[in-house]
Structure 1
Amino acid sequence: MTAKIELHGIESLFSYEGKELFTSRPMHISAEMIQDFCRSVNQMDWFHFDQERAKASPFGAIVAPGMFTMSLLHSVYFDHVELHNMKALFLGTDRFRILKPVKAGDSIVLKFSVDKIEQRKEGIAVHYDFTWTVEGEEQPVTLGNFIVRYWPL
Structure 2
Amino acid sequence: MRHIARLAGAATFAAVLPAHASPADGLPDPSGEIVLTVTGDLAATNGDDVAQFDLEMLRSMDSRSFVTETIWTDGAQTFEGVGLDTLLETLGVEEGTLTATAINDYAVVIPIGDAVADGPIIAYSRNGDLMSVRDKGPLWIVYPYDANPEYRSERVYARSIWQLDRITVTD
TM score, norm. by length of structure 2: 0.27
Select the structure of larger CA radius of gyration: 1
Select the structure that is richer in strand. 1
